[in-house]
């Protein structure tokens, strides 16, 4: 089995690709591009996978649902995290307007989303990237791929459950899905009821896709016992990372001494 992480913008993708990097090591590759408005074609994805047989897990913003299901007889599984479109837009707003000096710096949320929702990546963009359209046919295509075992979709809001699910479904490849969150805002913008209602009306297909992701993970049947064990592992991993960071800081200070 080989994996393609369809890295949708602002769906905890950076946190997940770090999980992939740790689990697959040198067999993982993240593709990064400053052009955000296009995706690899089926032929390009096929070539990437066929000429790089060492590549076990591939992550890219340019990946989409248009990928081969097998390469040289080996199954390819797509993985995508799906986020409720209101929360996804809020995350994009905070990331672009508060962490980067660009045209969105200082712009209020209403002006931001009214402009952004006209963009291909955001106008029911999760369904469009994975399913190829912005209507019910995209959801039908995605459901068919899930049923055929070619794709899994996981809700960002239940990220811990998603990690447990990956360890449960693919234990040979996803041995340890503990994580540290990346690109997470300290303070979350709270939209008004009117803003939430307007975005919801514009993003019906993505909202339905998000519900499909919730239903997918519900079918796995994750237990409270599994959650409890995973929480303990998360805490242990957190303290290990803090200890390593402390040792690194001590070593740095010693190096700085005359």
Tell how strand 151-155 and strand 74-82 pair up: parallel
Confidence at residue 38, expressed as pLDDT on a 0 to 100 scale? 79
Is the pLDDT assigned to residue 257 strictly greater than 90?
no
Domain that holds residue 238: 224-258
Across residues 26-45, what is the average pLDDT?
87
Q: Judge if 68 and 31 occupy the same domain.
A: yes
Q: Judge if 139 and 183 occupy the same domain.
A: yes
Q: Judge if 34 and 111 occupy the same domain.
A: yes
pLDDT (tens digit, 9 = 90+) per residue, 193-247?
999 999 999 999 999 999 999 999 999 999 999 999 999 999 998 887 776 776 7
* CATH code assigned at 153: 3.40.50.300
Q: Considering its fold, how many domains does the chain have in total?
A: 2
Across residues 16-39, what is the average pLDDT?
89
Q: Judge if 214 and 228 occupy the same domain.
A: no
Q: Judge if 110 and 203 occupy the same domain.
A: yes
Tell me how far apart the 2 most distant CA atoms of the chain are, in Å: 67
94 confidence band (pLDDT: 50, 70, 90): confident
Q: Judge if 142 and 232 occupy the same domain.
A: no
Is the pLDDT assigned to residue 106 strictly greater than 60?
yes
Spatial distance between the Cα atoms of 185 and 108, rounded to a whole number of angstroms: 16
Q: Judge if 156 and 238 occupy the same domain.
A: no
Spatial distance between the Cα atoms of 217 and 233, rounded to a whole number of angstroms: 21
Share above pLDDT 70 across residues of the chain, in percent, rounded to a whole number: 88
Q: Judge if 168 and 233 occupy the same domain.
A: no
Q: Judge if 255 and 140 occupy the same domain.
A: no
Q: Judge if 162 and 249 occupy the same domain.
A: no
The pLDDT mean for the chain works out to 90
Confidence at residue 239, expressed as pLDDT on a 0 to 100 scale? 83
Across residues 22-27, what is the average pLDDT?
97
Q: Judge if 41 and 150 occupy the same domain.
A: yes
Instruction: Record the tokens describing residue 63, joined without a space.
Output: 């990946």
Q: Judge if 34 and 107 occupy the same domain.
A: yes
């Amino acid at each position: 089995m080989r994996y393609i992480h369809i890295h949708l913008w602002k769906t905890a993708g950076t946190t997940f690709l770090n999980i992939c990097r740790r689990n697959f090591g040198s067999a993982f590759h993240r593709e990064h591009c400053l052009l955000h408005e296009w995706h690899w074609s089926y032929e390009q994805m096929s070539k990437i996978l066929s000429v790089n047989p060492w590549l076990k897990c591939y992550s890219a913003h340019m990946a989409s649902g248009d990928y081969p299901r097998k390469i040289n007889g080996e199954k390819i599984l797509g993985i995508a995290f799906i986020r409720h479109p209101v929360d996804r837009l809020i995350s994009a707003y905070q990331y672009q307007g508060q962490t980067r000096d660009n045209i969105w710096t200082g712009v209020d949320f209403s002006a931001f989303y009214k402009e952004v929702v006209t963009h291909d990546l955001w106008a029911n963009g999760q369904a469009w990237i994975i399913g190829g359209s912005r209507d019910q046919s995209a959801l039908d295509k995605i459901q068919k791929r899930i049923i055929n075992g070619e794709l899994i979709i996981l809700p960002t809001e239940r990220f811990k459950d998603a990690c447990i699910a990956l360890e449960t479904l693919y234990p040979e490849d996803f041995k340890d899905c503990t994580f540290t969150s990346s690109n997470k805002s300290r303070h979350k913008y709270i939209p008004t009821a009117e803003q939430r209602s307007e975005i919801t009306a514009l993003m019906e297909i993505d909202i339905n896709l998000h519900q499909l992701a919730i239903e997918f993970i519900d079918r796995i049947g994750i237990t409270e016992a599994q959650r409890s064990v995973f929480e303990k592992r998360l805490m242990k991993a957190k303290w290990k990372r803090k200890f390593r960071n402390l040792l690194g800081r001590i070593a740095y200070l010693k190096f700085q001494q005359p």
